[in-house]
Structures are given as structure tokens and as C-alpha cells.
Amino acid sequence: MKNILEAKCMKEMIEVTTNMYRLGWDERNGGNISYRLDKSDISDYLDVTNVIRSLPMDFDASALAGEYFIVTGSGKYFKNVASNPEESLGIFRVASSGDAIDILWGYENNSVPTSELPSHLMSHIARMSVDPANRIVMHCHATHLLAMTFTHSLDPKAFTRTLWQMCTECLVVFPEGVATIPWMIPGTTEIGEATAEKMKETRLVVWPYHGIYGCGKDMDEVFGLIETAEKAAEVYTYVQAQGGVKQAITDENLHALADAFGVTPKAGYIS
């Protein structure tokens, strides 16, 4: 077998977690990532019949039975993923019963997957129902987006329009807009269900006073989604500090932009 640390999925996880920590999005053990894999992604690196241990889950993930994932560990610091991937990450398969995971690699020293695993798997199920190519769920504490939840309306239309108006590329990158949910306790089935419901309509869901969830078909798409929204939120922060908006991208501009790039904005979000 080849060294699993040479696998493309492993290199991507290490690179993106390192970058997210560098950007200040994932302080301490804040944030988590799950990456749905094809069996072929790991079959040259792991004996997928060798289950190291199994862990029960308290929700029904039978829609993902047999699916393989690499997921960040609970309580693990993103700054340590590159130097200690065997403990910071793990690869597992969802059991055929849907109520347990079979660990195939990693989570050494009795580590376990992120406490947000229910939210991740529920979001995977939701996104796969509208986009079977979806593979990534990414959660982080992007600084300026987090700050915006204290000072800006949490109405998803208002929140989305502000982001669209802060950077011209935003409408093109996330034309379906950004969803929001009420504040909820993290790590619970309830917040997972609320997030997953929103994921049926958008790839970005804001958790007020906490952070953001993003989904997509690969690491670049999801990282780029969050990066673009966060840049717009940063611009908004500077604009407010400079005295507020004096002029901005108009609805007419947004329509022209959508036409030029062939995207369809969220219905009702532009006059």
C-alpha cells in the first residue's frame, strides 16, 4: 500500500486547514471540514476492509451508508494538522445501518471526529439531493462575517444584498445568496437539521455570532466561496468605519452583471 499522506485528498486537507488557520478563520480548535471520498481515492492507500474501531451516531445517516469521508477531529487545532495528521484527521465509512461510522485510518490516541459531525453529514445529504457532485462541507469562524452578524440585519435577503454590493464578483460567485439561521447550540442535531434545510437552496449558511458553513464539489470551490464572502464582509467593515455607504452597486448594475456572466440571482433579491 502507498503512504496515505501522499493521497490527493490528504494533501488537500492539510493544505486547506493550514491556510484557514493562517487567515485567522480557525482559532484553537474552531472549525471543521468533511470531505466525501470515492473509494478509489483511498483504495491504493488503505485496506478498506480493515476497520480499526466503530463509533455510534445518534442520528440516521443511512442516506450516506457506505460513503467514505475524511473529517477533522474533535478538539484538534488546525495549526497542528500538518505536523500531526494521524491524530488531527480520520478516514471512516458510514456503516450500512447508518447509525455508526467505521474508522479506517487516523483519530489516533482515542481521537474522534468533530462534534459538528451531525451538521456535516446532514448538510452532505441535503446538498447531494440537489447536487450529487457535492463533496465538501467546511465550517469556520471567518472574522468579518462573524462581526457582521452583530451589526447587520440577519434577514438573508438584506445580508446577501450587502455582500453582493461590496464586491462586484460576489453575485457571480454565489448568485443563490447566503442563508442565515437563528443562534443555536453547536454540535446538536437541531442546528444540523436547520443548516441542512438551508443547504437545499444555497451553499453558504451563516451561523450568527459563530461563523459560516460552506458546501461545494471540491476544496477550491468551497474555500473560494467563503473567501469571497469574507472579503465582502471585510470591505463592509471598512466602509462602515469610513462613515458608511455613499454610493454602491445598483440593482441595475447587478442585473447587468448577472446577464454578462450568465448567472441567475436569487429570486426577489434584486428589484
List, for residues 245-259, the tens digit of each pLDDT value.
999 999 999 999 999
Kindly report the pTM of this predicted structure. 0.94
Given the residues 6, 15, 87, 116, select the one marked as catalytic.
Answer: 116
What are the C-alpha distances in Å from 47 to residues 40, 65, 72, 164? Answer: 12, 18, 20, 47
Cα Rg for the chain, rounded, in angstroms? 19
Which residue carries 445518534 as its cell?
58
In the predicted structure, residue 207 carries a pLDDT above the cut 90? yes
C-alpha pair distances (Å), 68 with each of 29, 64, 266:
23, 9, 33
Mean pLDDT, rounded, for 220-246: 97
Domains of the chain: 1-114 (3.40.225.10), 116-271 (3.40.225.10)
Residues flagged as binding site for Zn(2+): 139, 141, 210
With H, G, I as helix, E, B as strand and everything else as coil, classify residue 220: helix
Is 169 noted as a catalytic residue in this protein? no
Decide: 14 and 85 in contact? Cβ < 8 Å.
Answer: yes
Percentage of the chain exceeding pLDDT 70: 100
